[in-house]
Structure 1
Amino acid sequence: MKSETWTIQQVFQDRKQYKVPFYQRAYVWTLEKQWQLLWADIKDKADERLTGATPAPHFLGAIVVEPQDKSGLRGVDTLHIIDGQQRLTTLQYILAGIRLATRELGIVDYDSYLAAVLDNPNRSTMGNADVEIFKVWPTFSDQKAFVEAMTADKLPTLQSRFPAHFTQAGTFRRIGIIHPAALDAIWNFAEWAKEWIVANGGTDAVEALIMAVLNDLKVVLIQLEKDDDAQVIFETLNGRGAELHATDLIRNYLFMSVDSAMEDPAALYEEKWKQFEEDIWKVRERRGRITKPRLEWLIFSAIRAQTGQEGDLARLYVDFKNDAQGRTTTQQLDMLGTYAKHYLQLIEGKGTLPVARFGRRLQPFDTTTTHPLALRISTADVSESEKTAMFGDIVSYVVRRAVCGLTSKNYNNWFTSVLRQWIKGPMTHATLKDLLASSPNSPAARWPDDDEFLHALQTAPIYHGNLDSGRCRMLLTELEGWLRMSKRTEEPAIPDLSDLDIDHILPRSWYEHWTLPDGSKATLAESRAAEQHELMGGTLSSQYLAIRQRAKIVPTLGNLTLLNLSVNREAQNKSFPIKKRLLIANTVLSINGDLIAREIWDEESISARSKLLAEAATKLYPR
């Protein structure tokens, strides 16, 4: 490779175009993070020039380009930007902003100097003048706004081309809008240039400002030669830092390693990768303490699904390269495309595939550690009914452990282990079931049997207790669906009850409107005293014993239901007759049917309903 230190004037002189390869990411520099800082550096150099001093060079870093072969006499020399597109593009925006600023101020003496570093000359000798006229040519997603902004002859033209980005008074909108980067940058640089030029004497200051950009800013320009590996150099420059997402490195790796004799890189991009540039893949998703774009989580999960191996998100690029060995770019993109369809249905809980319902059922449990296993199942060559049964077992495993108060801390290692073993053996429902049940004595991994599950459903504190509101609502919703489907109801489908409130039929604050089984009342102070007495190991009086028994049964499954928000607020801590009247008037849920038929609601009633719902749950979540 050839390495030279160049001024910006040298970079942009002659008939040449720096072209961003189609597969590279879009322009991402912003006002707060880069433009203001760079403009401050330029002003410092311009201020020095006004004093008659010769400023020391300001280095912007290295720019790596790969010259492209030119066929024939027509056209301009083209260099692909391997690294440095953000800087080169920004410098064009700065120069374009200065040109618009000088025109706005009526200073035209420097137009030709600026044209030499902004526009390639001799349109008539170009193959495609509308493109080759530019010194820098961006990637697909940036091109439209880039052309409209860079070809504006004056500031009012920018306003007319981007009317939605200006107020009725003609000022640049600053709040509640996202501007195209080209417009945003050029307008800001033009405004800053106008302000500086006016503040420093007008026409006489323009040359100092232009010289500050063209002569005082410098880069190390590295031109690759035929035997240089562009991907290795790009990886060395970018793969060790945090400036790029891992997916940017992966995209460049895929397209830089294309064998153009066998595969058409542009066609591959359009047909197989471009979908991943859409906004749906830029959504940031959180896993524990880590938040990353959705595309990174897809690739992370896809590699785990492929290999069955544990992974580190910080090594995503390295893991992808290792997994890609021996496969063509087409095969790698096909793999990602296949998993992408299943992944979206999994995380959104919407779609026609069995994995969509699986994702919807487990959303409240935040078990993203199941995603690699779920993707492997969803893409396996087995029947839809087999996949549905497998997903049902994973849901049963997670729900049963949650209801029984067992930890989820080991899920990452556990589900990876299950996936790894499942891949090695026959990938069947029976094999998966055996693997999930393979640690019957481990608190960290066991799949609770019916006895343990039934006991927890009838005696454990469900809410507030072993389940939070989202998980409890999901359990009650699925029980409602089970009850509907087990009888000839008019609406057998599982409903969406996500907007309903969880209600304790016998309220947690029962002291005012509810009596104990013997007809007596109790107070909150007595309840706290009874709890403290029990914790200290003291013998409980009959009154204290009744209070503690009630406190323990209130959060159990049999005492829980779902109500409309306003009905729940009206019912609050009221007595059962009032609650029953509100239920009769306002509920259509099967889960509330037996409540309406009851005359009293007490500990015995709660236990009986817990038993009925627990038996339904063991069928809903079979082991």
Structure 2
Amino acid sequence: MSHVQEIRIHLDGVSNVLKTKRFRVPAYQRSYAWEQEHVNDLLQDIREAIGSKESEYFLGSIVVTGPIDGKHEVVDGQQRLTTISLLVAAIKDIFAAKNDHEVVVSVKGDYLANTDRKTKEKEPKLTLNEVDNELFQELIENAYSVDRSKFQRQSHQRLINAYSQIQSFLKTVLTESKDEEETLHAWLDYLESNLKIIVVAAPDDSNAFVIFETLNDRGLELAISDLLKNYIFHKSGDKLEEAKNRWLSMIAVLEATSEEPLTVTYLRHFAMSRYGLVRERDLFSTIKKKVANKKSALQLATDLNNTVKVYSALVNTDHELWQRYDKQVSGRAATLNLLNMSQIRPLLIAILEKFGDSAVSESFRLLESAAVRFQIVGGVGGGTLEKIYSDTAKAVFDGGIKTPKDLLAAFTTLPTDAAFRQAFTVAQISRQNLARYYLMRLESALSGGSVQELVPNPNTGHINLEHVLPLTLSESWQSSWKLDLARGYQKRLANLALLNSKENSKTGNDDFSKKVEAYAKSSIALTKRISEFTEWTPDTIETRQKQMAELAVKAWPIK
């Protein structure tokens, strides 16, 4: 803290902070992130503090810079400020429902927004980032008039859920109250005077980031992404604006890639593509060791922004990045997603950054085979796989692995043909889209398929997944299959087949003798082969799955 100057520290009631100051959340800050459990914890704490007549309840610290143009920028604390603002807005709305116009105007003007007497424009006490601000301002103005269909982001849903949760909570509080208006005023008074928050104001971002990190070192629980972002900004010095812009660009790509939060996952996979296995709890300390000065901080911000395009393509496999490769590469990337192999992404990042186009194509082929083998054989936990993939990624990035063949040599526990064949003979598949993928790949190995057939989940309107032994047994099926025995075979891969949708709807729970007629007409060779059997028994399924196991070794080769 010795380098931090002109720091102002002020203890005040949180609503009074909103009453006397104006705040702005900068664009580079993450969007609203509190889940219902966080909101509930805050509400319960306030309720208990009021109920037990505690003179003060400490809410923690917020770190801000400025003011600039009358507004403080929030470095840390937006989640609490936003949630308290929604709480005040919900109380205001209850008074509005009671037609108490004077109280509504007073609460709104004191804590939420006032109107500039010259320009007549509304001046919010708290402005969120550009992703969330429109919805937030509508919620605190009049939550009942919000067109929720306009707001589809996850942070939007969290804001809406937070307001609804607060509203429901207050209704519960009021049902237990003898005087509703007095209770609401008591809450507002407590928020203004008794619910304390420390405002730590620094003159600029550089000083604020030092404070932010110091608070974390002293036990304040902060998001890993926030810690890393603020550390990079602090180290960027006079290149701060460049670092901010690159971070903001990275976040924009991640938010456009998925509605699910991806920032921490991406940061961790990026780190593992370069440094080997990094546990989430160690992510900040690992990268902190790598960033010691302005140059390395700006380089990291640049690398994160450049690599995020690759990561986006791994998540969304219709990304334009794949246009430079043959079509099978994006299909294999989609397969790895289908297999839920997110652990492999650090290695894929390294390969896409370090290998040429043909080597990328061959590497993805081999990695798809390896992933299938690991899943079918089992016995290798997710943590072990993650270490295998991340260590190999580091070797690729550092230049120790230069060819696709070297990749598999690094997988010392990769199942052999014999182990894979044996495990495949008893494989059961519960997920329909995964079963379709396995059957299509086996079909390709049997008869030679087009590139399109390598896509894991094509249009089900043409080809459906057929259970030869139905999931719901008719009386005729029950005459030859006991229910307990059937459960052990219904999801065996050999009991599944790809069939034309129309034929599939016709066969339904028909006897095997009738189903065979549809199978015999199928243009899918693997399905057509079922018609060679005269009955459908456990022995038949075992026989067919052994045949499939032989094909599997050809379908997912490791040579």
TM-score under structure 1 normalisation?
Answer: 0.65
Q: Does 1:356 align with 2:330?
A: yes
Q: Which residue of the partner structure matches residue 154 of structure 2?
A: none
Aligned partner of 2:309 in structure 1 is: 341
Q: Which residue of 1 aligns with 2:152?
A: none
Q: What is the aligned partner in structure 2 of residue 407 from structure 1? A: 379
Residue 58 (structure 1) aligns with: 57
Do the aligned partners of residues 18 and 615 (structure 1) sit closer, same or farther apart at CA in structure 2, a change above 3 Å counting? closer
Written as runs of structure 1 = structure 2, the 5 A alignment for 1:234-245 is 234-238=212-216, 244-245=222-223
Q: State the match for 1:304 in structure 2.
A: 272
Q: Distance in 2 between matches of 1:498 and 1:299?
A: 34
Cα 1:219–1:579 change in 2 (3 A) is closer
User: 2:247 and 2:369 mapped to 1: Cα distance?
Assistant: 41
Give 3-state SS (helix, strand or coil) of 2:360's partner: helix
Identify the match of residue 76 of structure 2 among 75, 83, 89: 83
Give the deviation of 1:406 after TM superposition: 6.2
Alignment of 1:411-490 (within 5 A): 411-422=385-396, 423-425=398-400, 427-436=402-411, 439=412, 445-448=413-416, 452=418, 457=421, 460=422, 462=424, 465-466=426-427, 468-469=429-430, 473-485=436-448
Matched ranges for 1:220-239 at <5 A: 220-224=198-202, 229-238=207-216
Q: State the distance in 1 between where 2:548 and 2:59 align.
A: 72
Q: Secondary structure at the match of 1:66?
A: strand
- Secondary structure in structure 1 of the residue aligned to 2:283: helix
Match of 1:581 in 2: 517
Q: Distance in 2 between matches of 1:80 and 1:227?
A: 9
Structure with greater proportional helix content: 2
Residue type of the alignment partner of 2:390 = T
Report if the CA contact (8 A) 1:462-1:556 is conserved. no
User: Kindly tell me: are residues 146 and 198 of structure 1, through their superposed partners in 2, closer, same or farther at Cα, counting changes over 3 Å?
Assistant: farther
Q: 1:181 to 1:268 in 2, by over 3 A?
A: farther
Q: Distance in 1 between matches of 2:8 and 2:230?
A: 22
CA drift of 1:376 comes to 1.2
Which residues in structure 2 correspond to 1:488-499 (within 5 Å)?
Answer: 496=457
Q: Is contact 1:97–1:189 with CA below 8 Å preserved after alignment?
A: no
Q: Is the CA contact (8 Å cut-off) linking 1:7 and 1:217 kept in structure 2?
A: yes
The answer to which of 24-33 and 183-192 deviates more is 183-192
Secondary structure of the residue that 2:102 maps to in structure 1? Answer: coil
Inter-CA distance 230–254: structure 2 relative to 1 (3 Å threshold): same
| 1:145 alignment partner AA | L
Change (3 A) 1:206 1:558: closer
Distance 1:413 1:337 in 2: 25
Give how far 1:503 is off.
5.3
Q: Which residue of 2 aligns with 1:318?
A: 285
1:199 pairs with 2:172: no
What code does the residue aligned with 2:109 have? A
CA apart distance, 1:300: 1.5
Letter in 2 for 1:135: K
Whole-angstrom CA distance in 1 between matches of 2:505 and 2:161: 50
Cross-structure match for 2:3:
none
Q: Is the 8 A contact 1:238 1:244 kept in 2?
A: yes
2:44 is equivalent to residue 37 of structure 1: yes
Residue deviations 1:472-515 (CA, integer Å, cap 9, x gap): 653331121244436xx99877674796446579x9x9xx99xx
Give the C-alpha shift of residue 306 in structure 1.
Answer: 1.8
What displacement does 1:231 show? Answer: 1.9
Give the deviation of 1:33 after TM superposition: 1.2
**Secondary structure of 1:322's partner?**
helix
Alignment deviations for residues 555-589 of structure 1 (CA, whole Å, 9 cap, x no partner): 998887444688499587956x544323134x221
Counterpart contact for 2:331–2:455, Cα < 8 Å? no
**One-letter amino acid of the counterpart of residue 82, structure 1:** V
Partner of 2:228: 250
SS of the residue corresponding to residue 132 of structure 2 reads helix
2: distance between equivalents of 1:430 and 1:332? 30
Distance 2:439 2:116 in 1: 74
- The offset of 1:389, in angstroms, is 0.8
Is the 1:65–1:221 contact (alpha carbons within 8 Å) kept by the matching residues of 2? yes
Instruction: Tell me if structure 1 keeps the 8 A contact 2:442–2:551.
Output: no
Q: Structure 1 residue 304: deviation in Å? A: 0.9
State the match for 1:543 in structure 2. none
Indicate how the Cα distance of structure 1 residues 570 and 462 shifts in structure 2: closer, same or farther if over 3 A, else same.
Answer: farther
| TM-superposed deviation, 1:199 | 1.8
Pairing 1:136–2:126 present? yes
SS of the aligned residue for 1:310 comes to: coil
When residues 491 and 432 of structure 1 are mapped into structure 2, their CA distance, relative to the original with a 3 A threshold, is closer
- Note the alpha carbon deviations across 1:324-357, whole angstroms, 9 max, x for none: 4565555434433444333344345555636532
Identify the residue that residue 344 of structure 2 maps to in structure 1.
370
Distance across 2 between alignment mates of 1:610 and 1:329:
56
Secondary structure of residue in 2 paired with 1:140: coil
Please, which of 350, 356, 376 is the counterpart of residue 382 of structure 1? 356
Gap runs ≥5 in structure 1: 49-54, 166-176, 284-292, 440-444, 514-521, 529-552
* Shift in Å, 1:387: 1.0
Q: CA deviation at 1:111?
A: 5.4
Structure 1 SS opposite 2:124 = coil
Equivalent residues in 2 for 1:88-237 (5 A)?
88-96=81-89, 104-106=98-100, 108=102, 115-116=109-110, 118=112, 123-124=117-118, 130=121, 133-150=123-140, 152=141, 159=144, 161-162=145-146, 180=160, 184=164, 199=179, 210-224=188-202, 229-237=207-215
Counterpart amino acid of residue 397 in structure 1: A
SS class of match (1:81): strand
The residue type paired with residue 286 of structure 2 is D
Question: Identity of aligned pairs, percent?
Answer: 19
Deviation at 1:93, TM superposition (A): 4.3
1:273 aligns with 2:235: no
Q: Which residue of the partner structure matches residue 516 of structure 1? A: none
| Range with greater deviation from structure 2 (557-566 or 5-14) | 557-566
For 1:53-98, what per-residue CA distance to the aligned partner results, in whole angstroms no more than 9, with x for missing partners? Answer: xx72333333333334x5xxxx53x322333333334444455555
Note closer, same or farther for the CA distance 1:407–1:195 as it changes in structure 2 (3 Å cut).
closer
**TM-score, normalising length from structure 2?**
0.72
Matching residue's letter, 2:404: H
